[in-house]
Amino acid sequence: MYIDFIRKRQEVLQLHKMKDLETDEHDAVLDGSIVNIVYDNAVEEIEDVNFALSFIQIALEFDFASRHVDHILEDVQRRHPDKEETLDALAKRPLLYIEDEIKRGKEMGLKKKVIMHRICQEIYSRYDEAVERITTEKMWSYYLDFVHNYLKSAKEKKRAKVQSILINKLEKAAEANCLSLNYYAVWIDLLFEKGDDDAALSVSLMAARKWNQVSLWIKCLTLHIRSGKSSKKVYLLFSEALSSLNEKDSISLWKLGVEWLSFADPERLIEFFEKGINKCTEISTPLKDMYLEATALRNGTQAARDLYKRFKKMGPLSPQVVRKMIIIEKAQLRPSIDSLRKYYEDGIREFGSS
**CA distance linking residue 307 with residue 36, whole number of Å:** 78
- DSSP type of residue 245: S
Q: Please report the pLDDT score of residue 19 as a whole number.
A: 44
Residue 149's alpha-carbon distances to 91, 125, 143, 321, in angstroms, are 15, 17, 10, 49
pLDDT in tens, the chain (354 residues): 544 544 444 454 444 444 444 444 455 555 557 767 777 778 777 888 888 888 888 877 766 667 778 888 888 888 898 999 999 999 999 888 777 777 777 767 677 677 888 889 999 999 999 999 999 999 999 999 999 999 999 888 889 999 999 999 999 999 999 999 999 999 999 999 999 999 999 999 999 999 999 999 999 999 999 999 999 999 999 999 999 999 999 999 999 999 999 999 998 999 999 999 999 999 999 999 999 999 999 999 999 999 999 999 998 889 999 999 999 999 988 888 988 999 898 888 877 655
Please report, as a single letter, which amino acid is at residue 55.
F
Q: Please report the pLDDT score of residue 65 as a whole number.
A: 66
Q: Please report the pLDDT score of residue 52 as a whole number.
A: 83
- CATH topology for 180-248 is 1.25.40
Helix and strand numbers (H, E) in the chain are 20, 0
What number of other Cβ atoms are within 10 A of residue 146's Cβ?
A: 21
Q: Which of 215, 148, 152 is nearest to 183 (CA)?
A: 148
Please report, as a single letter, which amino acid is at residue 10.
Q
Residue 227's alpha-carbon distances to 192, 230, 268, 279, in angstroms, are 10, 9, 20, 30
**CA distance linking residue 110 with residue 98, whole number of Å:** 14
Q: What is the three-class DSSP state of 104?
A: helix
List the Cα angle 271/274/276 in 5-degree steps. 115
Q: Please report the pLDDT score of residue 353 as a whole number.
A: 54
Please report, as a single letter, which amino acid is at residue 271.
E
**CA of residue 73 relative to chain centroid, distance:** 30
- DSSP type of residue 228: T
Please report, as a single letter, which amino acid is at residue 18.
M
Please report, as a single letter, which amino acid is at residue 207.
A
Q: Taking the domains of the chain in order of start, what are their residue ranges?
A: 180-248, 266-353
Side-chain-side CA neighbours of 156 within 13 Å: the count stands at 0
